[in-house]
């Protein structure tokens, strides 16, 4: 993408992420995803023969896409690229905190020669523009990424109109470190995962589960890892988000969790910074272990045996992502297969832009990325011969 430097600078200006992270993730990931859909559009089986029938996979029609601010361009591309590859037209309502990134994308789409009316950008507030888009009778499918609370309203609106819906919602993902794992690696990668993008990632592994015998060592390692970040992780997106995250940290303290790194005090006077925070002695029913904080806050929970770890890992309303670490890959896979979650990284497995992304339970409906993401924007018609 010719404008990737401009995209990175714009994301940094709007979201506050450090420029290197904006270049490496916020600009680079959407380019990879867009390229994957360009290839899929040319190779996808839009027609298949089943017995005496030919099944056609046709575009669903007009897509209303409502995207969040935390990965502003990636979330846009993850909806627009498959919708266009499927043959749909699309109306995008980006987050009000990051409209300029969406504007840059719209300009790039125009410069690429996409015909007028195929891609459309509408900016505005979620309860106004987003709600109008979800309700509009001309919209055939609503694709929304954001909080579970708003997702419920979008789903109810779409359901009342009997229109298709795709929802990618919240998470409280578990990072399960089994006793046989390389503890230092698992803890350090786990802390980095939570601090990335200042914790503003729906799939972040915000609950670290460690066996009782190795718990104190893990807490020490996590505290040391978090302390190295300082304010290098960048601010959160706005004052409201800063207050929200600091409020959760204060609630963790009030409910009896122990702060081993960071805390509610802002690390600097200017900017919406939150200290990279690690909690120990977290009970599985505490607010910080159940609710999505969306900031650089890690809770470390203790478990007694594998069944206890599984019960804790599955013990939230969410099921978006997770991680399992073990000395033996087969052991990690066996545990991961029992987790109620849509995506699990095994011993630090890398992000795959072709793998389906989405959640179980209240983490959403449907999948994004790769062929599974493309199929969300298709409907089927069978012809019998």
304 is a catalytic site residue: no
Catalytic residue among 47, 96, 107, 168: 168
Q: What is the pLDDT of residue 2?
A: 77
Overall fold of domain 174-346: Aldehyde Dehydrogenase; Chain A, domain 2 (3.40.309)
Q: Tell me the longest C-alpha to C-alpha distance in the chain.
A: 72
202 is a catalytic site residue: yes
Which CATH code of 3.40.50.150, 3.40.50.2000, 3.40.605.10, 3.30.70.1450 fits the domain covering 4-169+360-384?
3.40.605.10
Catalytic residue among 14, 88, 202, 331: 202
384: left (phi over 0), alpha (psi -120 to 50) or beta: beta
196: CB partners within 8 A, 6+ apart: 21, 25, 204, 233
Q: What is the pLDDT of residue 1?
A: 66
Residues of the chain with CATH 3.40.309.10: 174-346
Residues of the chain with CATH 3.40.605.10: 4-169+360-384
Report the alpha-carbon distance of residue 294 to residue 248 in Å, rounded.
10
Strands (DSSP E) found in 153-289:
164-168, 174-177, 207-211, 258-261, 277-280
Per-residue pLDDT of the chain (385 residues; tens, 9 = 90+): 678 999 999 999 999 999 999 999 999 999 999 999 999 999 999 999 999 999 999 999 999 999 999 999 999 999 999 999 999 999 999 999 999 999 999 999 999 999 999 999 999 999 999 999 999 999 999 999 999 999 999 999 999 999 999 999 999 999 999 999 999 999 999 999 999 999 999 999 999 999 999 999 999 999 999 999 976 799 999 999 999 999 999 999 999 999 999 999 988 889 999 999 999 999 999 999 999 999 999 999 999 999 999 999 999 999 999 999 999 999 999 999 999 999 999 999 999 999 999 999 999 999 999 999 999 999 999 999 9
């Amino acid at each position: 993408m010719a404008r990737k430097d401009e995209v990175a600078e714009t994301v940094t200006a709007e979201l506050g992420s450090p420029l290197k992270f904006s270049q490496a993730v916020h600009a680079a990931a959407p380019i990879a995803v867009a390229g994957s859909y360009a290839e899929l559009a040319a190779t996808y089986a839009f027609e298949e023969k089943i017995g005496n029938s030919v099944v056609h996979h046709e575009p669903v029609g007009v897509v209303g896409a409502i995207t969040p601010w935390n990965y502003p361009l990636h979330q846009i591309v993850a909806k627009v690229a498959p919708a266009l590859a499927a043959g749909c037209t699309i109306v995008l309502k980006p987050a009000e905190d990051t409209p300029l990134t969406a504007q840059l994308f719209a300009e790039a789409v125009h410069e690429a020669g996409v015909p007028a009316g195929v891609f459309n950008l509408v900016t505005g507030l979620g309860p106004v523009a987003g709600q109008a888009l979800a309700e509009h009778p001309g919209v055939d499918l609503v694709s929304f990424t954001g909080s579970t609370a708003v997702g419920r309203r979008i789903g109810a609106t779409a359901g009342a109109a009997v229109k298709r819906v795709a929802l990618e919602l919240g998470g409280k993902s578990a990072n399960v470190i089994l006793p046989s794992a390389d503890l230092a690696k698992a803890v350090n990668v786990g802390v980095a995962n939570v601090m990335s993008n200042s914790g503003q990632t729906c799939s972040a592994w915000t609950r670290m589960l460690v066996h009782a015998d190795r718990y104190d060592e893990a807490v020490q390692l996590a505290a040391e890892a978090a302390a190295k970040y300082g304010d290098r992780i960048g601010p959160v997106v706005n004052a409201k988000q800063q207050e929200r995250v600091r409020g959760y940290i204060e609630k963790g303290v009030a409910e009896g969790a122990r702060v081993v790194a960071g805390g509610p005090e802002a690390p600097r006077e200017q900017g919406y910074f939150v200290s990279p925070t690690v909690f120990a002695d977290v009970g599985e029913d505490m607010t910080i272990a159940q609710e999505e904080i969306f900031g650089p806050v890690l809770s470390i929970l203790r478990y007694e045996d594998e069944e206890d770890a599984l019960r804790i890992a599955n013990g939230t309303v969410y099921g978006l992502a997770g991680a399992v670490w073990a000395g033996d890959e087969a052991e990690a896979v066996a545990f991961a297969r029992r987790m109620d979650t849509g995506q699990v990284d095994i011993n630090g497995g890398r992000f795959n832009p072709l793998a389906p992304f989405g959640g179980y339970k209240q983490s959403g409906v449907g999948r994004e990325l790769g062929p599974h993401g493309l199929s969300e924007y298709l409907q089927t018609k069978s012809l019998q011969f």
